[in-house]
Amino acid sequence: MSDIVEIVLAGERIKRLSDFAVENAVEKNKQKYSKEFASIDKSDLDRHIYEGGLKVWECSYDLSAHLEDIDLNGKKVLELGCGAALPSIVALKKGASKVVCQDYNESVIELVTKPNLKLNISDESKFEAIAKSWEDFSKECTEKFDYILTSETIYDAGDYASLHDSMKAALKDDGIIILAAKVVYFGKTGDYFRFLDFIEAESYFEVIKSKQIEASVQRIIAYLKRK
C-alpha cells in the first residue's frame, strides 16, 4: 500500500498521507501520545482528549474544493480544527502569503498536519502548525487573518463559545469566515442550526451566504463576516 495519496482539489494537485500511513504512524507513536490515543480504537472522538483530526472528514474535501473560485493570492489564512490541512494546502497553492493551521491535538499536528504540508509546500516559512485548544488560542492570538477556514468543527455545542472567541480574535475587520459542516451530527450536541442560533444570540457575526451540498447526510458551506 502506498504511503501517499494524490488527489485534485480546487484544480490543484494535492498530496496527503494515506490512511495506511497514518495508521502506521499512530501505531508507532501510541506510547508517546498515550493520553490522546486512549480511546482511539473505540471511537472517532473523545471530547477534549482526541478530537478526530487523524481522519479526513467529508467537509474538509467540500471546503477545499470550494476554494477554487476564491482569490487567495497574497491573503493570510487561518484554519481552525485543521486535521489533515487540505484546505490550508489548497490556499497555499492558490497563492496565500501565509497559513496558520490549528488543531486541538499535538498528535494530529505532528503525525498528519505537518507531514501533509511538507509534502506540498517547499517553503516552510509560509505555514505554521500549532496544537492548542480554542480557548487558549483565542486568548493568545495576536495575528489577524483575511480568511478563516473551518470544517467539521460544530458538532459539540459546548465548544461554540471558544470557537466563536477564536474567530473573533483572529479575523480582520473585513475578513471572511468559510465554514463547512454537516447539517446534522447524529448523537452529538451540536448541528448547523444550533450553531446559527448561537451566532445570532452573540450578535457579532452574520451569515452572508450559504450553499447546500446534497448527500445522504446533508452538508453546507456558509460564509460569515463581522456585523
Q: Look up the domain containing 193 and give its range.
A: 4-226
Rounded Cα gap, residues 212 and 215, in angstroms: 9
CA–CA dist 218, 158 (Å, integer): 22
Reduce the DSSP state of residue 3 to 3 states and report it.
coil
Is the pLDDT at 80 greater than 90? The verdict is yes
Q: What is the pLDDT of residue 185?
A: 96
Report whether pLDDT(45) > 90: no
Q: Which residues pair with 211 in a beta bridge?
A: 221
The number of folded domains in the chain is: 1
DSSP 33: T
Residue type, 75: K
Contact criterion met (CB below 8 Å) for 168 and 138: yes
Residue 169 one-letter amino acid: A
CA dihedral sign, ordered 163, 169, 170, 174: positive
Query: Mean pLDDT in the chain?
Result: 96
Average pLDDT over residues 213-223: 95
CATH of the domain at 207: 3.40.50.150
* pLDDT tens track for 87-145: 999 999 999 999 999 999 999 999 999 999 999 999 999 999 999 999 999 999 999 99
Give yes or no for residue 1 having a pLDDT over 90.
no
